[in-house]
Amino acid sequence: MGISTSDKPFLERVAEAKQDNFMQAAVAKAQDAQFVKRTKARREMGHWNEWRDLAEQIRQHALKYLPDYLEEFAGNVEKQGGHVFFAETEKEARDFITELVVKKQAHKVVKSKSMVTNEIEIDKALTALPNVDVLESDLAEFILQEDNWDEPTHIVFPTLHKNRDQIQAEFKKLGYEGDNEPAHEARFVRGYLRDYFMQADFGITGCNFAIADKGMINLDTNEGNADITMAMPKTQVVVMGMERIVPSMKEAEVLDNMLARSAVGQKLTTYCTFSGPKKQGETDGPDDFWVVIVDNGRFRALGTEFEPILQCIRCGACLNVCPIYRHIGGKGYGSIYPGPVGKVLSPILGGYDNFEELPYACSLCAACTETCPVKIPLHELIRKHRIVEMDQKHMDHSMTNLILKTIGIGTGSPALFGTAMTVAHTGAAPFSRMKEPGDVDGMYEGGKINHLPKAAPKLVHGWSDIRDIPMPVEKKNNFRHWYKNHKPVDPAPIVKEKEAQEDD
């Protein structure tokens, strides 16, 4: 499965999402709330666009010299007694960590939230081992795990699609006896997970940023679970996407500020930690510190027009402004990376064949590009994916090309165009119905095309199934006719220029 979260076809997933009213209301509420918080936090920071310029420059610099900074980072981890493994594929990363768990004879694995560990599906591999328990310690990830590893719906708020009653019902299975108050539910998880933390012998974390010149990792959380994951077990494995590198703590610090403001409207996450292997004399922290640096298809973006997607710091702001995400939620995308970032990243990591439709789940409104703290031109990259799919990979086997060529010929010839305008209304009549409930007043008095046979070409369905396409009007009412009959009789009056007024 890799980054795929579903084997259902895209349109089926979208149809399911459209039925999920709670999810849609929750996503809309989250987007609106985050809009207010994010805007306030950024405004308070001042010079937001200049901060974005700086953040973009940091990310681009790190990518430009990626091998050099990774080499420096690995060297510094090794100098402190840590171990670094470079994994080209998700399988290598997964097998490596599995081997390590077996070698260490670990029984209680604890994890803190990390997208890349979802990418390599480490949970499934480790739970399949005999006598090994795995527990997600982030509250949301824990809720998903207890619901039979349900799919996340957002990269920052994975349980957006669940309500407090569903969570209460899940926790009851674990012995919770309280009400549906989030504070009480969270308190229960604190106790449940604390017991597990005290026994944990193997910790797995992600990495927001790796600090090249120190050989340390930088993690941002609000709950503190990542810090406890780094404190208690004697062995820690850090799993990081290879692009998550910065030269020094200074650049990480800039990005930490940008990340928190963009993700949750905070100035900084509650816990922002720079961490490495246990030092001599310290009594807790990882005796054994391992870093797995994962490529898993990222190299395909390097050196191409898609390279800017590797600037991403996983703040999720692009999801929070996306009108498509607002309607179909995370599950509609079928990738662990949903929303605009997912539309760009999923075809690169998971292949065009698996995520062919995602670049089309976009209105190209560019709200994502506008909000991105590291200035990834998301909507342009989404458009570029479409070009790759059409012109390079020729993935469209429908009649679209033929239809568009025919339209080109028709609109290029005044005679044919005139004929089309004359017959359009009558010709479309069998495929239309009059106004439907929910239609916007004043838009569809003439009816709309919404009654096409199933056998109609994909392009035609695309215009009618998802969009509202009005019926062409009768010839006597069309624009050309109207324009001819409404030419102004008198020329427009010339407006006299005001004489320059002196300033007071």
Partner 1 sequence: MTSLLEQANSEANREKFLNRIAKAAGRPRHTVKAFEPLNDLPDQVLADQSPEELLATAKTNSEAVAAKFYTCAKDDLASFLNQYLADIQAETLLLPGFKDDKWANYGLSDWVKKPEVKQTTVWSTDPGDRRKNAEAADQADLAIGFADYLIANTGTITVVTSPEQGRAFNYLPEHYLALIPKSGLVRSTRQAVEKYEAMMADGLQTSAINFISGPSNSGDIEMELVVGVHGPVDCAYVVVADL
Residue 342 to residue 155: CA distance in whole angstroms: 10
301-360: contacts with partner 1 (CB under 8 A): 302-303, 307
Q: Are strands 271-275 and 216-221 parallel, antiparallel or unpaired?
A: antiparallel
Using CB under 8 A, pick the residue from 13, 59, 69, 472 that binds partner 1: 69
Nearer to partner 1, 40 or 393 (CB): 40
Residue 153 to residue 138: CA distance in whole angstroms: 15
Q: Using the rule CB under 8 A, is 47 a contact of partner 1? A: yes
Q: Using the rule CB under 8 A, is 158 a contact of partner 1? A: yes
With a CB cutoff of 8 Å and minimum separation 6, the contacts of 459 are 398, 399, 400, 403, 404
116 touches 239 (CB < 8 A): yes
Site string for partner 1, 85-124 (x = CB under 8 A): xx-x---x--xx--xx--x---------------------
Using CB under 8 A, pick the residue from 1, 9, 28, 29 that binds partner 1: 29
Nearer to partner 1, 288 or 357 (CB): 288
Nearer to partner 1, 70 or 460 (CB): 70
286 touches 238 (CB < 8 A): no
Q: Using the rule CB under 8 A, is 222 a contact of partner 1? A: yes
239-258: contacts with partner 1 (CB under 8 A): 242, 247-251, 253-254, 256-257
Q: Is the torsion defined by CA of 76, 79, 83, 87 positive or negative?
A: positive
Using CB under 8 A, pick the residue from 119, 123, 136, 138 that binds partner 1: 138
Using CB under 8 A, pick the residue from 14, 70, 135, 358 that binds partner 1: 70
Using CB under 8 A, pick the residue from 105, 163, 413, 422 that binds partner 1: 163
Using CB under 8 A, pick the residue from 30, 106, 368, 374 that binds partner 1: 30
382-411: contacts with partner 1 (CB under 8 A): none
Residue type, 311: Q
Closest CA to 257 of 41, 53, 31: 41
Part in contact with partner 1 (CB under 8 A); list of ranges 55-63, 328-336, 347-355, 450-458? 55-63
Closest contact distance (angstroms) between CB of 424 and partner 1 is 49
With a CB cutoff of 8 Å and minimum separation 6, the contacts of 316 are 154, 155, 156, 157, 262, 263, 339, 341
Region of 285 (left: φ > 0; alpha: ψ -120 to 50; beta: rest) is left
Site string for partner 1, 268-307 (x = CB under 8 A): xxxxxxxxxxxxxxxxxxx---x--x-x---xx-xx---x
| Angle formed at CA 400 by CA 457 and CA 385, multiple of 5 degrees | 120
Region of 155 (left: φ > 0; alpha: ψ -120 to 50; beta: rest) is alpha
Closest CA to 239 of 213, 269, 217: 217
The pair of three-digit structure tokens given for residue 189, joined into one six-digit string: 């998880």
Size of the site for partner 1 (CB under 8 A): 108
Q: Using the rule CB under 8 A, is 498 a contact of partner 1? A: no
List Cα–Cα distances, 104 to 81, 91, 108, 127, 279, in angstroms. Answer: 17, 20, 11, 15, 20
Residue 6 to residue 21: CA distance in whole angstroms: 20
Q: Using the rule CB under 8 A, is 439 a contact of partner 1? A: no
Using CB under 8 A, pick the residue from 1, 9, 43, 68 that binds partner 1: 68
Site string for partner 1, 175-194 (x = CB under 8 A): -------xx-xxx-xx--xx
Part in contact with partner 1 (CB under 8 A); list of ranges 10-18, 116-124, 139-147, 490-498? 139-147
Closest contact distance (angstroms) between CB of 388 and partner 1 is 17
